[in-house]
Amino acid sequence: MDTDLMSSVDLNSDLGEGFGRWTLGDDAAMLGVVSSANVACGFHAGDPASIRRTVRLAAERGVAVGAHVGYRDLVGFGRRDLDVASEELQADVAYQIGALAGLAAAEGARVTYVKPHGALYTASAVDGRVAADVAAAVAAVDPSLKLLGLPGTRSLDAAAAAGLTTVAEAFADRAYTPAGTLVPRREPGAVLHDPDVVARRMLRLVTEGVVEAVDGSPVEVRADSICVHGDSDGAVAMARRVRELLDAEGVAIAPFAPAGGRVRADR
């Protein structure tokens, strides 16, 4: 990565993950910080009314809206490994994109990209069949949609083969192995919580193209977007600190895909 040319980067977060009276994360605050919102589509989290509210706020603030598609697993928050046949998986992904697109249209916005969630994200990164199914579903719904994922994985390879534009992301609040993969959540230290540590790591990513692995070694990571999970403890504080430090160093925060919508005149 030619870091001298990296004058801007996207900052994304997983949002819309509440359900009924149960609230997860602070979407309103996070949407004042990030440039792209990966919005739950009802399978791993989110109900129609809360999803629509999140989309409305994103549209009002000029934040790009992406479909955060996952396995049908509300109880496990989409983080349990499931063996889903190709026909069903492709239909599930298409269904979720369509649901979010309808809610976005109701708010004068549109979906411009897709990011798999949780176990589907992990599976599509390493399993060629799953990666191809996700890519095929996205391309069938709208080939102009971009696919956001981990660099150097089968997920982005399959998306590119399907004719989709791919966008690589790094994780601000996740630890990396020396091989450049994410440390599994079940392992100690997999999730980071210190805003200053997280921000400095992402500044190094932008300026040097590397992150520090759990063993202290530098790992090359190519990324056009940085993710801060909306459900992490102190997520908003971490995202704000990342943005503040990047702003101070002259790195603009801007979406990799246009917001693609307008605020409804009656709001």
Domain boundaries, the chain: 3-253
Cα–Cα distance between 93 and 51 in angstroms, integer? 17
- Token pair in block for residue 195: 């805003």
Contact by Cβ (8 Å): 40, 19: no
pLDDT at 260: 58
- Work out whether the CA dihedral 9, 236, 54, 19 comes out positive or negative: positive
pLDDT at 232: 73
Contact by Cβ (8 Å): 170, 211: yes
Cα–Cα distance between 152 and 80 in angstroms, integer? 23
pLDDT at 4: 47
pLDDT at 222: 87
Cα–Cα distance between 35 and 71 in angstroms, integer? 25
pLDDT at 265: 41
Contact by Cβ (8 Å): 70, 43: yes
Cα–Cα distance between 100 and 79 in angstroms, integer? 20
- Token pair in block for residue 44: 């791993």
Q: What is the DSSP letter of 219?
A: E
- Work out whether the CA dihedral 232, 156, 116, 118 comes out positive or negative: negative
pLDDT at 264: 44
Contact by Cβ (8 Å): 124, 92: no
Q: Return phi, psi of residue 227, to 5°.
A: -105, 135
The architecture that CATH gives domain 3-253 is Alpha-Beta Barrel (3.20)
Q: How confident is the prediction along the chain (267 residues), in pLDDT tens digits per residue?
A: 344 447 899 999 999 999 988 988 899 999 999 999 999 999 999 999 999 999 999 999 999 999 999 999 999 999 999 999 999 999 999 999 999 999 999 999 999 999 999 999 999 999 999 999 999 999 999 999 999 999 999 999 999 999 999 999 999 999 999 988 899 888 988 999 899 999 999 999 999 999 999 999 999 998 999 999 877 778 999 999 999 999 999 999 999 988 755 544 443
Beta bridge partners of 9: 253
